[in-house]
Amino acid sequence: MSENHGANMDINFILLGLSHKTAPLEVREKLSIPQDRIADHLRSLNRHNEIREAMILSTCNRTEIYVVSDNVQRAFEILLEKFSQLATHINVDIGPLLYKLEGKEAMRHFFHVTSSLDAMVVGEAQILGQVREAYLLAEGAGSIGSFFHYLAPKAFNVAKKIRTDTEIARHPVSVSYVAVQLAEQIFGDLFDKSVLLIGAGEMTQLAALHFQEKKISQLYLTNRTHERAVELGKEFSAISIPFENFISHMSHVDIVITSTSAESYLIFEKDVLEIMKQRKNKTMFLIDIAVPRNIDPRVNDVSNVYLYDLDDLKGIVDENLIVRQGEAKHAEEIVDKELSGFIQYLRQQSMAPTISQLSKKFEAIRRAEVVKLLSKSLSWTDNQKNAIDEATQAIKNKFLHDPIMTLKTDGIIEEGHRTIDFIKRLFRLEAD
Amino acid sequence: MAPWLFWVVCGIYFLTTLAYLMYVVFGTRHLAQIALYLLLIGFGFHTVSFYHDVISQGYPYLYNQTDALQLVSWVSIILFLILKSKFQFQGAGAYFTPIALIFLVLSTFYNTSYHFEGNILASPWVVIHLFLVFIAFAIFLASMVVGIIFIMMESQVKHKRIRLFFQRLPSLDMLDIIHYRALTVGFIFLSLGILAGSMLSKDIRGVYLSEDPKQIWVLCMWFFFAILLNSHFRSGSRGRKGILLSLIGFASFVILVLVFLSIRHV
């Protein structure tokens, strides 16, 4: 287990990894580390003296190892060995697929990953949870210390800020989720709405899951093969209805999703006109994700009926992807600003012990001199003693004010640990 | 309203409008928060001066066009605050605040005092009638604004051209509900206003209903809205068609108010 070294600025934070940007899926899936094996890998990394803290992030799109080390060169060698071990069973030279980053760039990358700016689908929400999980795993394995306890919560905050201050997450980029969002835009809360799924394809099941997350009142399901509908009905807690008369059920459902392999239309304008009469014109949303289409496009002409087919939904997905790319630039600006603030904070943290030592040394000198002065005579009155104490306090504070302020400013802090060493040598702080 | 206070309120409503428009365009929640604080400050000043006007003028309040227009402006802000708190419809600020501002500015142009004929001022019904009718007008106006937002948004959904601002608006169903609720409340105020008007007519002319074209017009309008609301509640008339019909009814209300504002003798 790593020691707690404090957020010291001479800590070197490095990363070695590969992602969807550098490695094909067949390599990524081989190098992906199962969740139950991560703790073992972290412990094996921690056995090296050069590794102070370590965290592994392994998802379907990336495997990255983040490390805090005093010896960057050696730490990279250790990480490379680790990746080589992982790649022993594949016949690919992974060297060119790996990227290595250190210091500020590694931190920026970590912020980008956590904020979903480095994701395959920019802005997707899953990655934040995965980084959180990786952080908790590392904490559980005892492989991280104070640096990660500063870095990770900060990265989570930045990710949250990006999600609230930009449009990056507000534009869904999957067909089924676009359908759900459209339904919400039409109906508002979906808790009192019922949904009918016609067909039992993969897309329909995905849409069913998304709608169920919205706590819809009832899910109905129909399929040409009734047994399949019954089977799926059990899986989704849905009521299965016979395929032959699903039209008659449509008058009491608000949302219909079709994805059968029928060669011709299943739902026509005249059917929907009749259904709308029975529904007293209550709004209806029809989603046709079948190819070829299952619903006559003229249905969209009926008042208070909205029909979207696969192309319509894909069109929205494409537009949303463009919006997300645009928002990513704004998000990167947020990351840069937050990163600068974070690095400054780390530097100030690293100066704190030196400032404290300096203050203590001056205070010790002052006290010693005051005691020496007071011991020279027994005739000091209390008022005189207080006056001497206050005056020497004021002198000490005025002496220290400028050096401390300068230490806290960026100019000196930019010099890093050399400044700290210089101050320590100048005032012989270590010796004391 | 004291001139300096008037321009302070106008200035704050202008800034609020800008903040709400920016919120609708960029979606930054802080902007909506800032806009709301600004609006509350402006509305506070507006209310104080409104109260002061009513007290200082004494009876008859609403004796000039300025009062009527300022009343509509003030009620518009109240209606927005109701929409915001009850339906979380923040984006409505981008529509209601400029309406309040426009009515305030218009009140400086339409500032003629009416010449009340005969012993009309002796009847207490005159103020009650005008008060109820102008409140009804403000509520109908709010209903129409929501209706127009519905039509714009419905058109986007229908034609699959979903663009900007989409996510800062309530759902289509919710807009439809708000439209009809406001229409119903406005209709109640209008009905009460018409009743007060007929009491006024009885006081000054001795009959509840005269052949005054204004009265005939108002009655026709009342029947139109009554039929519209009846068909909504009984047979489910809703959506685009229902809202378009209510806009026609409202146009007749606007004409009536314009006629009233342009006359000098009551």
Active-site residue set of A: 60
Task: Please state the domain extents for chain B.
Answer: 1-102, 114-266
Residue among A280, A306, A315 whose CB faces B236 most closely = A280
Give the residue from A3, A11, A53 showing the smallest Cα distance to A343.
A11
Answer whether B76's CB lies under 8 Å from B141's CB.
yes
Residue among A164, A280, A303 whose CB faces B29 most closely = A164
Strand order in the sheet with A239-240: A239-240, A218-222, A194-198, A255-258, A284-288, A305-309
CB within 8 Å: B160 and A185: no
A326 touching B (Cβ < 8 Å): no
Instruction: Look at residue B165 in the predicted model and tell me its pLDDT.
Output: 54
A185 touching B (Cβ < 8 Å): yes
Distance from CA of A260 to the nearest CA of B (A): 23
Count CA atoms within 13 Å of residue A325 on its CB side.
Answer: 7
Residue B165 to residues A51, B25, B169, B170: CA-CA distances in angstroms? 50, 6, 7, 11
CB within 8 Å: A167 and B158: no
Over residues B111-144, the pLDDT tens digits come to 666 666 666 666 778 888 888 988 898 899 889 9
Cα angle: A407, vertex A12, A49; to 5 degrees: 125
| DSSP class of A120 | S
Residue among A170, A188, A279 whose CB faces B167 most closely = A170
Instruction: Look at residue A430 in the predicted model and tell me its pLDDT.
Output: 65
CB within 8 Å: B171 and A303: no
CA distance B157 to A273: 19
Residue among A165, A182, A304 whose CB faces B238 most closely = A304
Domain A12-165 has CATH 3.90.1150.10: no
Which residues have CB under 8 Å from B220's CB, separation 6+? B252
CB within 8 Å: B173 and A283: yes
CB within 8 Å: A281 and B172: no
Distance from CA of B228 to the nearest CA of A (A): 15
Backbone angles phi, psi at B165, to 5 degrees: 70, -10
Which residues have CB under 8 Å from A430's CB, separation 6+? A424
| DSSP class of B112 | P
What residues in chain A have per-residue pLDDT under 70? 1-11, 409-419, 430-432
Distance from CA of A329 to the nearest CA of B (A): 15
Per-chain mean pLDDT for chain A: 86
User: Is the pTM for the entire model greater than 0.80?
Assistant: no
Q: Which of A180, A278, A281, A306 to mutate to test the interface with B (most CBs of B within 10 A)?
A: A281
**CATH, domain A175-314, list 3.40.50.720, 3.40.50.20, 3.40.190.10, 1.20.210.10:** 3.40.50.720
CB within 8 Å: A283 and B167: no
Q: Which stretches of A250-308 are DSSP H helices?
A: 269-278
Over residues B150-163, the pLDDT tens digits come to 998 899 899 887 76
Over residues B48-101, the pLDDT tens digits come to 888 887 777 665 567 777 888 888 899 999 999 998 888 878 888 888 899 999
Residue among B167, B235, B239 whose CB faces A304 most closely = B239
Distance from CA of B249 to the nearest CA of A (A): 21
Instruction: Look at residue A5 in the predicted model and tell me its pLDDT.
Output: 40
Contacts of A306 in chain B (CB under 8 A): 157-158
Instruction: Look at residue A394 in the predicted model and tell me its pLDDT.
Output: 93
Q: Which of A162, A182, A185 to mutate to test the interface with B (most CBs of B within 10 A)?
A: A185
Contacts 24+ apart (CB under 8 A), B128-132: B128/B196, B129/B193, B129/B196, B129/B197, B129/B199, B129/B200, B130/B62, B130/B68, B131/B61, B131/B62, B131/B71, B131/B193, B132/B189, B132/B190, B132/B192, B132/B193, B132/B196
Whose tokens are 């969209």? That residue is A300
Percent of chain B surpassing pLDDT 90: 21
CB within 8 Å of chain B, chain A residues 153-182? 164-165, 167, 170, 182
CB within 8 Å: B171 and A184: yes
A62-69 and A99-102 as β-strands: parallel, antiparallel, unpaired? unpaired
Instruction: Look at residue B107 in the predicted model and tell me its pLDDT.
Output: 84
Task: Please state the domain extents for chain A.
Answer: 12-165, 175-314, 350-427
Distance from CA of A322 to the nearest CA of B (A): 13
Complex-level ipTM beyond the 0.90 threshold: no
pLDDT band of residue B254 (cuts 50, 70, 90) is: confident
CB within 8 Å: A316 and B238: no
Burial class of residue B119, CB neighbours in 10 A (0-12, 13-18, 19+): exposed
CB within 8 Å: B239 and A281: yes
Give the residue from A138, A144, A132, A147 showing the smallest Cα distance to A39.
A138
Residue of B nearest to A286 (CA): B158
| DSSP class of A300 | G
pLDDT band of residue B192 (cuts 50, 70, 90) is: very high
Distance from CA of B218 to the nearest CA of A (A): 30
CA distance A148 to A143: 10
Instruction: Look at residue A8 in the predicted model and tell me its pLDDT.
Output: 46
CB within 8 Å: A186 and B167: no
